[in-house]
Amino acid sequence: MSERFLVTGGSRLSGDVVVGGAKNSVLKLMAAALLAEGTTTITNCPDILDVPLMADVLRGLGCEVELDGDAVRITTPAEPEYRADFAAVRQFRASVCVLGPLVARCRKAIVALPGGDAIGSRPLDMHQAGLRLLGAHSTIEHGCVVAEADDLHGATIRLAFPSVGATENILMAAVLAKGDTTIDNAAREPEIVDLCTMLVRMGARITGAGSTTLRVSGVASLRPTEHRCIGDRIVAATWGIAAVMTRGELSVHGVNPKHLALVLDKLRSAGAEVTPLADGFHVVQKERPRAVNFATLPYPGFPTDLQPMAIGLAAVADGTSMITENVFEARFRFVEEMVRLGADARTDGHHAVVRGVEQLSSAPVWASDIRAGAGLVLAGLCADGVTEVHDVYHIDRGYPRFVEILQELGGTIERVGVDEDRLLSR
């Protein structure tokens, strides 16, 4: 049996929601534990499927991993294994973040090419190019990234694009390299800053976190530490957009509102009253939202992870919106599912034009990735009748207690099983 969500439209979301740790940070923090022998503890970990999946990857590398509520304790041996096998890695993309730490600690890494969301090509060219400049030899062999180095040395590395994953892998390799490393055009996301903060606590020497230039002075070894993961800005923004789409009122806690400055400005443009809080924000939407244009860009631009929710908002807004996707070329793949729900949307390359309608109409839809799944659920909240959302395991990979939180906020949604034969016959 697989599972699906049954979403009944017409509810106005209201209440308070507390956001847990960031998916896009915690998995990289877990990988960073490989850099030091001993026990590292990460708190404020989200209750999502990807955390135990990453725990399995680390166990395969010789670590002991204990999941205890919102804490993860990782005990790394003196000599970790250097091979991350296909069975553990294939399920999610973030597993490739063990590449840099393994090269740094073991001077060798064999990491199966990962699987994950169907949102477009995410090649490892920049990861490999950065490791080569640090002194590693890196190739793709038999479906794996293979990297080896007799020694790692500092280098000046300029990324062609501010890739989060490449920045993280190069950074985690550079902290144990001899000499100084400069990473130009580095990613600036809050999750990168969070990783830098933890690495510095472990004894790394890093400056420039949050800027386009990271400077690293390599050290001989790192020590284990305890670190609290930052709040998930994507989950927080999802709830904020849900409030606007359903003309609701929500207080969202557990996140730094400065990490969402542009997103909150977009909600204001849609007609919402948005008030920053010490640990989040409060949003009220009294009328039908106005159409707003969105263009995804690396941080501090509008996050590509929120593009499906932006499409959902545009689908019910008053007016016509233009959404431009500048990060992942296949992220519009899910738009045809929005069209099933009655959205008036057309895509052309990197652009989507969405003409808002008063109300969407229920239909069976299929989630192709974490964020597309969440966007489809939000659209279902604005549709007549009951919308069936399938392949909801994607949503569980990125959103803790998704169904339960929506229910607590007044949404009508339930999780049910579905016959595999029915899915195969669609």
Q: The domain that contains 371 carries what CATH number? A: 3.65.10.10
Residues 202 and 235 in one domain: no
Check whether 305 is labelled as a binding-site residue: yes
What would the pLDDT profile of 146-176 be if each residue is shown by its tens digit?
999 999 999 999 999 999 999 999 999 999 9
The answer to whether position 132 is within a domain reads yes
pLDDT at residue 400, rounded to an integer = 96
Taking the C-alpha atoms of residue 375 and residue 397, their distance in angstroms, rounded to an integer, is: 14
Active site residue 117: yes
pLDDT at residue 119, rounded to an integer = 40
Question: CB of 46 within 8 A of CB of 232?
Answer: yes
Taking the C-alpha atoms of residue 164 and residue 264, their distance in angstroms, rounded to an integer, is: 22
Q: How far is CA 122 from the centre of its chain?
A: 14
Residues 41 and 145 in one domain: yes
- From 163, 188, 216, give the residue that closes a domain: 216
What angle separates helix 190-201 from helix 23-32, to the nearest 10 degrees? 30
Question: CB of 254 within 8 A of CB of 280?
Answer: yes
Pull the structure tokens for residue 1.
């049996």
The answer to whether position 276 is within a domain reads yes
Check whether 274 is labelled as a binding-site residue: no
Catalytic position from the list 50, 70, 117, 232: 117
Q: What is the pLDDT along the chain (426 residues), one digit of tens a residue?
A: 589 999 999 999 999 999 999 999 999 999 999 999 999 999 999 999 899 999 999 999 999 999 999 999 999 999 999 998 767 676 667 788 999 999 999 999 999 887 544 444 446 899 999 999 999 999 999 888 999 999 999 999 999 999 999 999 999 999 999 999 999 999 999 999 999 999 999 999 999 999 999 999 999 999 999 999 999 999 999 999 999 999 999 999 999 999 999 999 999 999 999 999 999 999 999 999 999 999 999 999 999 999 999 999 999 999 999 999 998 777 788 999 999 999 999 999 899 999 999 999 999 999 999 999 999 999 999 999 999 999 999 999 999 999 999 999 999 999 999 654 444 443
Residues 10 and 31 in one domain: no
Taking the C-alpha atoms of residue 359 and residue 342, their distance in angstroms, rounded to an integer, is: 8
Taking the C-alpha atoms of residue 31 and residue 42, their distance in angstroms, rounded to an integer, is: 11
pLDDT at residue 423, rounded to an integer = 41
Closest CA to 307 of 323, 292, 291: 323
Residues 8 and 51 in one domain: no
State which residues form the domain around 113: 23-216
Question: CB of 164 within 8 A of CB of 197?
Answer: no
Residues 256 and 184 in one domain: no
How many structural domains comprise the chain?
A: 2
The answer to whether position 391 is within a domain reads yes
The answer to whether position 226 is within a domain reads no
- From 193, 216, 239, give the residue that closes a domain: 216
Residues 175 and 245 in one domain: no
Residue 1 amino acid letter: M
Residues 205 and 62 in one domain: yes
pLDDT at residue 170, rounded to an integer = 98
Residues 52 and 140 in one domain: yes
Check whether 108 is labelled as a binding-site residue: no
The answer to whether position 328 is within a domain reads yes
The answer to whether position 342 is within a domain reads yes
Residues 158 and 250 in one domain: no
- From 189, 216, 243, give the residue that closes a domain: 216
The answer to whether position 221 is within a domain reads no
Closest CA to 315 of 273, 343, 350: 343
Question: CB of 244 within 8 A of CB of 217?
Answer: no
Check whether 216 is labelled as a binding-site residue: no
pLDDT at residue 142, rounded to an integer = 86
Residues 108 and 11 in one domain: no
The answer to whether position 29 is within a domain reads yes
Residues 194 and 283 in one domain: no
Residues 288 and 401 in one domain: yes
Check whether 23 is labelled as a binding-site residue: yes
